Structure 1
């Protein structure tokens, strides 16, 4: 299968899913999210023993398509949220370990895709954050639930309330990145790590992943359901319209 906005490539038992919209800093639109879902299903069906998620060019995933989101109604916002959640959930439930190779920007929805992976390796130049608050919305693809589990309550609240962007060193210190490497060593290090994961006994690794995920499954499912409703409810509000218009027009937002 081939897609316009993503690439699925193989190196032995390791599949690499690359978001390939470098001119848009790999921002996620409907077509890209749908392609990611298809690619993840294909990788799982073809027996990937490890999966790498990364972005083409100088950005991991800079966020979601704000021009598309700007005019959504609450009902359409719910559909958009559900689509993003479906990809993040597919990453979290993928039957083999997943590694986010975070090169460059990982904001908003891009941060949420990294959060849904099992492991995260950051390039030294990486910047990561949940920046939705400045658009008049909240994270809608899982960050309100997954981020506190990684970095703790205080750091998660600061990142979400203030839209703080963390550099790679800070992200590693806070537990968001497992390790940080020089930019020109990211691909090699992630390939090495993915190869190590793929070499482990597949059924045991799958059981370990399912057991770890089970620890969060009940409360996480309830929290994710609440997040979906809250995210959708903000579409059509003055602050959502103004925040996204200000972003597109490159000006300060005038929130209520």
Structure 2
């Protein structure tokens, strides 16, 4: 694993974290099991929160991009692990616990996150993509949520994340049928935010990640917290008020206004 001048963070088998592939301040988490279309084993779900903890705490990391090695994003959970738990009455208990913890770690990552999707994005792959703030895909993308094919009860947490993103009708369509949809349908229904030709996907993610690193990290953090509060049923007012006080105290707003008046790029002081 190559490293730039950023702090080195732990990685694990099949989950690779790099810091120099998509520009300064951009960490890239690669699901690296291409022979299995990057299907996630029980161990990968279990390890993901620890892998994310390093860049979450590192002030040099401003943006996280999540992608898959090779031609697929992630084909979901490895089906070989579905019945591997020790409890005969609930053999998926440990896997479900680790899956939800991994999703929470990605959803609560304190900086902007982008899923860069090629090829298969199925089941657990959709779970990971929906936990990211934004989803950029190329037109090889194929999306599906397939518990109905194997008799799994989809968790309320994952169901809510899908409803929040695409609405109840498409959630029912995907979960009832397990059918796959193409990238154009994913764009039309809001499952992805940007759709690009294959040769343009990585350059556009690189460009957009660079835009994000030039903007106010405080504004981005406050936006994540306010949006999360609204999705949880609140109105976001307490979170917004707290962050407004912080932007004054940190000099973030003063620097932004000064830079605008002087027609120069801002040097925002807040680092979290």
**Category of TM-score, reference length = shorter chain:** 0.7 to 0.9
The alignment status of 1:55 with 2:64, answered yes or no, reads no
State the match for 1:9 in structure 2: 18
Does the 8 Å contact 1:112/1:142 carry over to 2? no
Which of residues 14, 39, 49 in structure 2 aligns to 1:37? Answer: 49
State the match for 1:151 in structure 2: 166
Please show how residues 114-133 of structure 1 align to structure 2 within 5 Å: 114-133=129-148
Structure 1 stretches of 4+ with a deviation exceeding 2 A read 70-76, 138-143
Does the 8 Å contact 2:33/2:39 carry over to 1? yes
Q: How many residue pairs are counted as aligned between the two chains?
A: 219
State the match for 1:244 in structure 2: none
RMSD: 1.6
Tell me, in whole angstroms, the C-alpha distance in 1 between the residues paired with 2:167 and 2:129: 16
Tell me, in whole angstroms, the C-alpha distance in 2 between the residues paired with 1:141 and 1:5: 27
Moved more, 29-38 or 108-117: 29-38
Tell me, in whole angstroms, the C-alpha distance in 2 between the residues paired with 1:97 and 1:134: 33
State the match for 1:70 in structure 2: 83
Q: 1:218, CA displacement in angstroms?
A: 5.2
The TM-score, its normalising length taken from structure 1, stands at 0.81
State the match for 2:177 in structure 1: 162
Tell me, in whole angstroms, the C-alpha distance in 2 between the residues paired with 1:193 and 1:3: 28
Does the 8 Å contact 2:164/2:231 carry over to 1? no
State the match for 2:5 in structure 1: none
The TM-score, its normalising length taken from structure 2, stands at 0.76
Higher normalized helix content (fraction of residues) = 1
Name which one, 1 or 2, has greater alpha-carbon Rg: 2
Which of residues 210, 216, 239 in structure 1 aligns to 2:225? Answer: 210
Which of residues 12, 20, 25 in structure 1 aligns to 2:32? Answer: 20
Deviations 1:90-134 (A, max 9, x none): 111111010001111011111111011100011101001101110
Does the 8 Å contact 2:83/2:91 carry over to 1? no
Tell me, in whole angstroms, the C-alpha distance in 2 between the residues paired with 1:44 and 1:118: 14
Q: 1:143, CA displacement in angstroms?
A: 2.8
- For structure 2, the residue ranges without an aligned partner over 5 or more in a row are 1-9, 235-272
Deviations 1:21-54 (A, max 9, x none): 1111110112212332222101112122110000
In structure 1, the residue corresponding to 2:19 is in which secondary structure?
strand
Tell me, in whole angstroms, the C-alpha distance in 2 between the residues paired with 1:141 and 1:24: 27
Q: 1:199, CA displacement in angstroms?
A: 1.6
Deviations 1:59-82 (A, max 9, x none): 101010101113444444122111
CA distance 1:18–1:7, shift in 2 (3 Å): same
Does the 8 Å contact 1:26/1:61 carry over to 2? yes
Higher relative contact order (CA 8 A, sep 6+): 1
